[in-house]
Amino acid sequence: MKKHNFSAGPAILPQSVLAQAAEAVKDFEGAGLSILEMSHRSPEFSAVMAEAISLVRELFELPDNYKVLFLTGGASSQFYMVPMNLLSDGEHSSYINTGTWSTKAIKEVSNFGTVEEIASSKDQNFSYYPKEYTIPENTKYLHLTSNNTIFGTQIKEFPETKVPMICDMSSDVFSRRIDASKFGVIYAGAQKNLGPAGTTLVIVREDLLGKTERNIPTMLDYRTHIAKDSMFNTPPAYPIYVCMLTLRWIKEQGGLQAMEAKNEAKANLLYNEIDSNPKFEGVAAKEDRSLMNVTFVLKDKSQEAAFLEKCEAANISGIKGHRSVGGFRASIYNAMPMSSVQVLVDLMKAF
């Protein structure tokens, strides 16, 4: 029996996408070759890349001055590529620290400029999203992490700023509607909500580039990859292909408006059970609860092993919380069906 996959990542993919991707490993659209062994310069793969980029543009309604890239290195590589490409020596950047990933992003900036942590939720183990902060006038950009995978918080409304916003959207990309024109750079590791591990989506406003007067290594310069449509070197062809299939699926489901409605319904079902069940309680502040990563604990920690055993018996996978939070984490990304959330809710009721 297929398991109910609540893993935080690599995460669940749509069943139709998995079926198509499996067939392409054997024979890509009747070409007589596997997608794994096709030239990235072939017309077939060039069409895959072009469609993937086009779907990103369409779903996010990107203005013409934004470029879409599929790179490697995960979102972690963007922690240094962003300041390397955007920040001159001595220039100031502002970061909001909401957890593990923003902490790591902040660490990298000092190699290229100065960084100020203008707000943080570390004082309460990152269980809320900071809302009171001032963006310095001399800052080059504001960096945010839209969804906190480990601690289960999410930005509900992005701020209005006079400077470009840079956002790590790894765990909630394409899960809801956003105004992409508010951002200077959006980046996301694919393995949370878009595709398999191995490629990283980067969306960059082109006019921000080429202003640092820094000698940027060729492979780390966004302009290199823009000029070659993400194919300066051999790209991670299979992960990009699966991302394209997932983007097709999102469009077929009704786009980001439909994804947002489905994700809100799934999250509401689970949070309502957490709040009404006397044995459980949520970890994140209610107003900042993530639609993607639902964190909760048992009030009686001695029952955790018994609950995990029940989950295993019910074919529920990936429910154990991150070690820095404990308890449980149910990641309910786009591809998670409501029926699987209902299985978890029913188990919690019975428990």
Catalytic residues: 101, 168, 192
Beta strand spans in 77-137 (E):
92-97, 114-120
Distances (CA, A) of 350 to 277, 320, 345: 10, 19, 9
Nearest to 185 by CA among 26, 112, 77: 77
Strand partners, 115: 93
Q: Quick one: 101 exposed, middle or buried, by C-beta within 10 A (0-12, 13-18, 19+)?
A: buried
Other C-beta atoms closer than 10 Å to the C-beta of 134 total: 8
Find out whether 321 and 329 touch, Cβ atoms under 8 Å. Answer: yes
Q: What angle do CA 286, 104, 271 make, to 5 degrees?
A: 20
Nearest to 240 by CA among 193, 197, 176: 197
Q: In terms of DSSP bridges, do strands 4-5 and 280-282 run parallel, antiparallel, or are they unpaired?
A: unpaired
